[in-house]
C-alpha cells in the first residue's frame, strides 16, 4: 500500500517532507491540493485502489458551500482508495506549530522561531529553512501532538463519518 498526502499549502508540504525525512511520519508522496476550493475529480488519476490517502486541511474555513465541496471531494476520493485519513489542523498550520511547541501565541512563535511578527514573513522564512526539523525540535516540537486535537472539526464532518460502510474502504478521522 502506498501513501499519498494531500496538503493545502506550501508550508504544510514543507513540514510533511521534513517529517518524512526525519522518519517522524509515514513516507509517501506529497501533493499540494485544496479540497475546499478544487474538485477532486481532477486528482483521481493520482490515486490507486490500494492507496492510503491522508488529507491535511485547515479548519478556519466555514462557508457551507466550501464545506459541501470538501465533503463531496472526500466522498469522491473514498470511492477510489483503500483508506482515507483526515487530519484537521486547529485553524491552520501556524496554530498547530504553536500547540506542538507549547508557545503561548502565534506572535510568540513568530518571534522565537524567526524574529518576526508577520505571518507572511514567517511563512517565507519557514519555507526557506534548511534545518526545519532541528529548528522545531530545538523549540520543543512534539510530533505526536500534531493534528491530535480530535474534536475540532468532527461536527461538520458527521455526514462523512456516518456514511454506510463500503467494503474494504474506510475513513479515519484523526491520527493521534
Window from 47-56, 109-118, 151-160 with minimum mean pLDDT: 151-160
* Number of neighbouring beta carbons within 10 Å of residue 49: 11
Give the strand pairing for 3-7 and 29-32: parallel
Burial of 65 (0-12, 13-18, 19+ CB in 10 A): exposed
Residue 18, C-alpha cell as written in the block: 521534513
How far apart, in Å, do the first and last CA atoms of the chain sit?
Answer: 21
Helix (H, G, I), strand (E, B) or coil at 145: helix
| Cα 72 to Cα 78: distance, rounded to the nearest angstrom | 10
In this prediction, residue 154 carries a pLDDT of: 64
In this prediction, residue 175 carries a pLDDT of: 35
Does 106 have pLDDT greater than 50? yes
Query: Mean pLDDT in the chain?
Result: 86
| Class level of CATH domain 3-92+144-172 | alpha beta
pLDDT band of 176, cuts 50, 70, 90: very low
Does 2 have pLDDT greater than 70? yes
Q: Please write the tens of the pLDDT for every residue from 69-104.
A: 888 899 899 889 989 988 888 889 999 999 999 999
Domain spans of the chain? 3-92+144-172
For residues 56 and 87, the answer to whether their CB atoms sit within 8 Å is yes
65 vs 1, residue with greater confidence? 1
What is 118-135 written as a DSSP string?
A: -HHHHHHHHHH-SSHHHH
pLDDT band of 174, cuts 50, 70, 90: very low
Residue 169, C-alpha cell as written in the block: 474502504
Amino acid at each position: 500500500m502506498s501513501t499519498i498526502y494531500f496538503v493545502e499549502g506550501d508550508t504544510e508540504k514543507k513540514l510533511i517532507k521534513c517529517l518524512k525525512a526525519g522518519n517522524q511520519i509515514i513516507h509517501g508522496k506529497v501533493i499540494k491540493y485544496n479540497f475546499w476550493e478544487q474538485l477532486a475529480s481532477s486528482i483521481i488519476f493520482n490515486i490507486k485502489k490500494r492507496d492510503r490517502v491522508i488529507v491535511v486541511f485547515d479548519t478556519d474555513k466555514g462557508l457551507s458551500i466550501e464545506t459541501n465541496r470538501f465533503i463531496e471531494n472526500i466522498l469522491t476520493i473514498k470511492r477510489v482508495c483503500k483508506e482515507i485519513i483526515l487530519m484537521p489542523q486547529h485553524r491552520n498550520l501556524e496554530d498547530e506549530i504553536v500547540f506542538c511547541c507549547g508557545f503561548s501565541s502565534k506572535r510568540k512563535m513568530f518571534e522565537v522561531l524567526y524574529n518576526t511578527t508577520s505571518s507572511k514573513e514567517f511563512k517565507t522564512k519557514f519555507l526557506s529553512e534548511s534545518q526545519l526539523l532541528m529548528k522545531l525540535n530545538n523549540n520543543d516540537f512534539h510530533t505526536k501532538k500534531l493534528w491530535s486535537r480530535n474534536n475540532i472539526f468532527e461536527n461538520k464532518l458527521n455526514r462523512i463519518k456516518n456514511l454506510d460502510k463500503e467494503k474494504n474502504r474506510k475513513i479515519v478521522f484523526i491520527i493521534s
